[in-house]
Structure 1
Amino acid sequence: MNSDANEPFWRTKSLDEMDAAEWESLCDGCGRCCLVKLQDEDTEAIAYTDIGCKLLDDDGCRCRDYPNRQAQVPDCVRLTPQTVRALDWLPPSCAYRLVEEGRDLYWWHHLVSGDRDSVHAAGVSVRGKVAALEDELPLEDFIEHMVRWPLRLPRGAIRRLAKAVPLNAAAAPSAASPRKR
């Protein structure tokens, strides 16, 4: 990828080229990937639920024990450039997915807005949408909690996206701006 000092790193680097700090900063804190997903045994189709991982802080939309999450939740998926490419269930708003697809970050992402709460204000995060944590319900009840909203962008966020004007043109690209390859 081309490197331009005036462009933000997510527009000039591939996921593989990012350092650890850049990689971690890509997470917008929406918590959508921390929702329990169910897989149909026959079709292998994935369905989201409104049930959070037992480590999800459903108000802050972050993991309560991020450094030790895989020891506590063995099926927690650690995102790497390779897993991002392989996973088909990452939400459409996921910054890792967007960068991998050569798309730009949305206006609510803290790297664009400068505010970690903009993801919540846009209605993109799971705040207020989690029915329970996985250790609060019996497994047989999970199917009753299947939802489609994690795979959609909120209407208000889409409307604002169309009207978005960057606060700082150098740091805040529009969502339609292509990333350099």
Structure 2
Amino acid sequence: MIGKNLFWDSCTFIRYITRDVGADHFQDITRFVAEAKAGKRQIYYSTISLAEFKQDHFTGSEFGSVRDFFEDMGSACIPIEPNPNVLIAVGELRGAKSTNPQPGAPNRSIATPDAIVMMSCVFARDALGVSDIVLQTTDEGKGKTWYGRSVPILGFERWYPESTRTDRIKEVCSLRREKPIHPEPMLEGIVLHGNFDPKRRI
């Protein structure tokens, strides 16, 4: 069961902001947002994610900019700054050598933004004491970004055989990482468009 505290990668936020109703997990993400705004959940995020929002993500959105979005979210979202301890851990994490689980395929590096997100979530869990935190992302390493193909956040542990894992790799492997799927099934035929209110009686 997912607890109260979530940690979102930028791709999870972007999927909500762009209002692609047909995209995988859009309905679940919308429910999580509504619950967070109602005080039922907290959504943590790394401030590095702010650099991954582009203005065209807001074309057709109810929000004019990333500032508008986070002002609307208010206290439902909690930023985590990449402090020196987190950044040192990021460098140590990225220094580990991966092994592609597909024999013969090239190895990959951990992208710096992904490393910051993962180590910020570890920081929230271990240093801030948010023990039930879950990192929700859609990153399975299938696409290619401006920094090329990188080790995915989902399935991360498959790239690091146990005998080769550093302490930082072990921390990430122990981190709960999942797709943003709501634990309670939606009633068939209901479609949310971003303004779902969990307090409203139907």
> What TM-score does the superposition give when structure 2 sets the normalisation length?
0.24
Bigger helix fraction:
2
> What TM-score does the superposition give when structure 1 sets the normalisation length?
0.26
